[in-house]
Amino acid sequence: MRRLAVLVAAVGLAIPALVAAAPASAAGGLRLTGTNVNGPVGAIVSDAHWGVKGVVAAYVPRQRVTLHVFDNGALVLSRTVRVHRDGAHGVFRDSLRIGGTGRLTVRAIHFATPAQGRLVSSAFSLWLVAPQVYPGEASYAVRILQHQLSAMHYVIGAPGVYDARTQRAVLAFRKMAGLVRNVVADASVFGALAAGEGSFTIRYPSQGRHVEGDLTHQVLALIGSNGVVQRLYPMSSGKPSTPTTLGSFTVYLKEFGTNSDGMVDSNFFNGGDAIHGYAEVPTYAASHGCLRVPIPDAASIYAWVQLGTPVDVYYR
């Protein structure tokens, strides 16, 4: 039998609603929306925290609504929630956590009382998916993963597909989050994303449009003119015997294409050290001093970097 666990706590959520419920029923007066349900994806990861919030058009004292949650048509939750006054309206919130997989449907009902008649919200649905994806997989779980990675400026691939580009985004995220350095997208990755881990803190925001090479995490960051991260890539810097020089530099030479050393789309910033694509980009420092990136990423980085672009190289 499929495992199903429900944990509900009636607490307020500060997260804005991301998936809108359908309009209220013909009786009107009761609207319900989902919160923290992965933006446009319309899905949640098993055991992740999410919630609902609703509005009753006319508030009356001691008002309550009952939430019903169905999983593949079977009722798994029926819970009564208190309604609070908000001007002339009533509002309510609830936090949920449901395990398993399937299609969830959520509805709110205000049962008839002497003060107000019966009201029924329109239902909204969302997918409940396992926190694990595999190379080449196309699924709602991948869409959730990509949505969360992209929100943190990791560069993802084809929408809904766990392709090589998205796998590299997971690798870069794992590096920043302090996880094992691989491309496995399992519960540890989904959990770290949900916890807000893996964000990149800019070391030199006042430099405007520039590049930062974080040698501690082996991640390359492209920073926009507004001092906000635009893109994050995995990289490999100089190995201990040929370390990348630390400091602040500027790009003084750009070399398009592949040179005799196998360097692809090179952006030189310090002598022979460059940001460039290379066939081998391990998860650790392994270059002769350059900042290597995977060849499929080299062209877009080359197009972004300009002559004179500052490059900051440091350990955290």
Mean pLDDT of 211-232: 97
SS3 46: coil
- The string of pLDDT tens digits covering residues 272-316 is 999 999 999 999 999 999 999 999 999 999 999 999 999 999 999
For residue 248, what are the β-bridge partners?
312
pLDDT at 130 exceeding the cut of 90 = yes
Enter the pTM of the model.
0.82
- CA–chain centroid gap for 203, Å, is 22
Residue 19 has pLDDT above 90, yes or no: no
Question: Could you tell me the domains of the chain?
Answer: 6-129 (2.60.40.10), 140-183 (no CATH), 205-314 (2.40.440.10)
Report the amino acid identity of residue 9. A
Q: Are 101 and 47 in contact (CB under 8 A)?
A: no
- pLDDT of 26 over the 60 cut: no
**Cβ neighbours of residue 211 under 8 Å, at least 6 residues apart?**
220, 221, 222, 223, 275, 305, 309, 310, 311, 312
Ramachandran region, residue 167 (left: φ > 0; alpha: ψ -120 to 50; beta: rest): alpha
Query: What pLDDT is recorded for position 37?
Result: 83
Averaged pLDDT of the chain: 90
What are the pLDDT digits (tens) for 93-121? 999 999 999 999 999 999 999 999 999 99
Please determine, for residue 270, whether its predicted confidence score (pLDDT) is greater than 70: yes
- Between CA 305 and CA 75 the distance in angstroms is 55
Contact (CB, 8 A) for 29 and 119: yes
**pLDDT at residue 140 tops 90:** yes
- Rounded CA separation 221/153 (Å): 9
Tell me what pLDDT residue 16 has.
29
How many whole angstroms separate alpha carbon 220 and alpha carbon 65?
Answer: 50
Of 244, 266, 237, the C-alpha closest to 253 is 266
C-alpha 99/C-alpha 217 separation (Å) is 33
Q: What's the rounded Cα separation, in Å, for the pair 75 and 106?
A: 10
